[in-house]
Structure formats: C-alpha cells, structure tokens
C-alpha cells in the first residue's frame, strides 16, 4: 500500500511540474498584442496642436529641426534621442521654449532630464535677475518625465500645454 501511495504521489508531482513548465499559447499571444499596441506619440503633431491652440504664445518661435541643435542649445547627446519636436523663442522679454523629447531608453531619459534641468535652472537664474514679471512664468514651469518622454515647457499657460502633451503621450 505504501508503494502504491508513493507511486501515485510521484506521478502527481511529475504532472504538476510538467504543467507548470508548459507554455500557454494564449498568454504568449496576449503579450505580443500588448507590445504591438504600444504606440509612440508623434511629437511634431503634438507641437503643431500646441501651436494651433496657443498661436499668441508660439507665433514667434524658431523650430529646431535636427538633433544637433538639441546638442548645441541644450547639450542633449544626439544618440540619446529617439524623436523630438522643439521650438525656442528669440525674444528675451518673454521666455518661451517647448522641448518634447522621446529618449531611446531609460538611461538616455535620465541623461536628457539632467540636461533640460540645467537649462531650466539657467533660464530661472536669468529671469530672477532680469524680470520679476517673467520669473513668475518660469516658476510655474518645470521639466517633466513620463516613461521615456522628457519635456521642458517654459511658456504662459504651462498647465494647458502640458495637458496636450500628456494626452498625446498617454495615447
């Protein structure tokens, strides 16, 4: 009786182990669907929507068209950038910069955030000694990270602009 009971327990253990190691094709399919459903925000379209809604703020901005310009103005390494859309103002009386970057990976995200934080602090320092009125605009803004997206928006109605950005990033 003990041998039969031991044999039955061994068969049950083998079945359990075999059941745990078997792949579930349904779960594999769901994982693949999740990966294929992940989309990348079209940052140029996002910037276009911002320009449409906030034309009075963004009307005199200059578009950055190449990652080398991100490196030149913000020290963002070109190899860290997957995609971007950016416009900067030439008018020092009104600080307006809209920088939207999708980093290649999490390490690049941290690196880009550091560079944009440095830029934000620089703008803050300039307006702290230059224009108290414009400093209020800068104080209301910040560098934000969402996944591999890093944004620096310095503009009036920061909250409204970021609402557009966050909606696009969330998909």
Over residues 32-47, mean pLDDT: 65
pLDDT at 27 over 90: no
Please check whether residue 67 is in contact with residue 39, taking contact to mean a CB–CB distance below 8 angstroms: no
- HSE toward the beta carbon, residue 88, CA cutoff 13 A: 14
pLDDT more than 70, % of the chain: 74
- Return the higher-pLDDT residue of 37 and 93: 93
pLDDT tens across 98-121, in order?
A: 999 999 999 999 999 999 999 999
Q: Residue 144 to residues 77, 120, 128: CA-CA distances in angstroms?
A: 18, 11, 21
Prediction pTM value: 0.74
For residues 39-64, average pLDDT? 86
pLDDT, tens only, 72-84: 999 999 999 999 9
- The confidence score (pLDDT) of residue 1 equals 59
Lowest mean per-residue pLDDT among 22-26, 77-81, 92-96: 22-26
Residues 98/58, Cβ–Cβ less than 8 Å: yes
Task: Assess contact for 10 and 17: CB atoms under 8 A.
Answer: no
Q: Confidence class of residue 9 from pLDDT cuts 50, 70 and 90?
A: low
């Amino acid at each position: 009786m003990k041998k039969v009971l031991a044999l039955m327990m061994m068969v049950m253990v083998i079945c359990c182990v075999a059941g745990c190691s078997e792949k579930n094709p349904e779960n594999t399919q769901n994982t693949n669907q999740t990966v294929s459903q992940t989309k990348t925000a079209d940052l140029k379209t996002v910037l276009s929507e911002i320009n449409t809604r906030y034309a009075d703020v963004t009307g005199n901005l200059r578009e950055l068209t190449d990652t080398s310009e991100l490196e030149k103005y913000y020290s963002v390494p070109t190899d860290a950038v997957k995609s971007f859309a950016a416009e900067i103002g030439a008018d020092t009386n009104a600080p307006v910069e809209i920088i939207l970057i999708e980093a290649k990976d999490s390490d690049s995200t941290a690196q880009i955030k550091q560079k944009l934080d440095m830029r934000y602090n620089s703008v803050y320092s300039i307006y702290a000694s230059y224009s108290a009125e414009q400093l209020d605009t800068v104080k209301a803004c910040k560098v934000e990270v969402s996944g591999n997206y890093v944004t620096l928006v310095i503009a009036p109605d920061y909250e409204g602009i970021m609402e557009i950005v966050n909606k696009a990033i969330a998909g």
